[in-house]
Amino acid sequence: MEDILIREAREQDVARILELYGEAGIEAETGFTPQEARVHMALFLPYPSLRVFVAEVQREVVGTYELLIMDNLAKCGRRSGVVEDIAVWPRLQGRGIRRAMMLHAQEQCRQAGCYKLVLSSALQRTGAHNFYDVMGFEKHGIAFGWTWSDRMT
């Protein structure tokens, strides 16, 4: 595969990120318009530890992920990283893009002094689970979720 560049997302990347989310099945119930997503992404800027990254191949955005690095009071202030919303353009899956993004996330966390990096994956995404196993991630506890829309009547 060609060189993969991982960088922080910019405002002009938002429409492509939304396309990637749609292709990966990661989408808000109503769907963001690009303008709404740009406004929302601008809210991230004051957060010192929440970033959206994109992967580029030949100047084309082909992947994305979000990374939150947080301090933990229970761990004497030690930091941990949380990866969310990993998406790779379907025609380019299996070419090392997701791997490059996860190595990037690990390096970001290492530089921030994190003691762990976690992510969650839907039960039915067994291909993704196999990938995380190969990357050296270990099953860690049990994830529970609460979705507000599931609770609305």
Q: Is the pLDDT of residue 30 over 70?
A: no
Give the number of domains in the chain.
1
Give the Cα-Cα-Cα angle 14, 24, 39 (nearest 5 degrees).
25
- Whether 56 is covered by a domain: the verdict is yes
> Is 119 within 8 Å of 82 (Cβ atoms)?
yes
Which residue is listed with tokens 């291909």?
127
- pLDDT score at 149: 63
Residues of the domain holding 47: 4-136
Q: Is the pTM of this model over 0.75?
A: yes
- Whether 147 is covered by a domain: the verdict is no
- pLDDT score at 4: 96
- Whether 146 is covered by a domain: the verdict is no
- Whether 13 is covered by a domain: the verdict is yes
Say how many C-beta atoms besides its own lie within 10 A of residue 114's C-beta: 21
- Whether 145 is covered by a domain: the verdict is no
Helical pair 34-44 and 14-24, crossing angle rounded to 10 deg: 100
Question: What are the Cα distances from residue 81, in Å, to 16, 49, 127?
Answer: 25, 9, 22
Q: Is the pLDDT of residue 10 over 90?
A: yes
- Whether 144 is covered by a domain: the verdict is no
Which residue is listed with tokens 């030949």?
58
- Whether 153 is covered by a domain: the verdict is no
The DSSP call for residue 25 is T
Report the half-sphere exposure of 74 (CA within 13 A, side-chain side). 1
- Whether 141 is covered by a domain: the verdict is no
Three-state secondary structure call for residue 121:
coil
Domain of 85, CATH number, reads: 3.40.630.30
